[in-house]
């Protein structure tokens, strides 16, 4: 068993599940979406992105692209949250939370595409 592949697969799947956990719940209810869960999703997504830098194949490039999209979406969600809480000072309204969850939902789709591509790549490996 290749430990590097295990770690890579672990972080790709963990990024997807953390993102899914954040998105679940009523889209406009701030009590259903915790800031630390978004923070964890961002950190794990960034780790998964760094792990994808070593692959020089076409599939590796597509996996990296999906990860970069997920990172961008999650960072945008955190930016919206931070601006609403600390710059505007209005707190998290239902419309703001809807925007945050929608951005995280886009990252969820990118992470899902990444996992599907990983499964396809694994299925195509020959012994």
- Domain positions in the chain are 3-124
* Residue 126 pLDDT exceeds 80: no
Distances (CA, A) of 87 to 25, 26, 30, 48, 93: 26, 25, 18, 30, 14
* Residue 77 pLDDT exceeds 90: yes
Find, among 123, 104, 124, 100, the residue nearest to 112 by Cα: 104
Total-model pTM: 0.90
What's the average model confidence in pLDDT over 1-22? 92
**Separation CA 81–CA 103 (nearest Å):** 11
CA dihedral 46, 31, 105, 51 (to 10 degrees): 10
User: Cβ of 84: how many Cβ atoms within 10 Å?
Assistant: 19
pLDDT of residue 21: 94
pLDDT of residue 87: 87
pLDDT of residue 127: 58
DSSP E strand boundaries for the chain: none
- What percent of the chain is predicted at pLDDT more than 70? 98
What's the average model confidence in pLDDT over 65-69? 96
**Separation CA 14–CA 7 (nearest Å):** 10
What's the average model confidence in pLDDT over 107-116? 96
What's the average model confidence in pLDDT over 85-103? 89
* Residue 101 pLDDT exceeds 80: yes
């Amino acid at each position: 068993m290749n430990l590097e592949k295990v770690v890579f697969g672990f972080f790709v799947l963990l990024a997807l599940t953390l993102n899914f956990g954040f998105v679940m719940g009523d889209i406009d209810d701030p009590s259903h979406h915790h800031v630390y869960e978004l923070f964890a999703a961002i950190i794990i997504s960034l780790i998964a992105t760094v792990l994808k830098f070593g692959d020089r194949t076409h599939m590796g490039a597509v996996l990296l692209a999906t990860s970069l999209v997920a990172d961008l979406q999650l960072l945008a969600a955190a930016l919206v949250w931070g601006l609403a809480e600390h710059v505007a000072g209005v707190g998290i309204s239902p419309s703001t939370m809807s925007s945050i969850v929608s951005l995280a939902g886009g990252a969820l789709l990118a992470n899902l595409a990444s996992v599907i591509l990983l499964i396809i790549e694994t299925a195509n490996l020959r012994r």
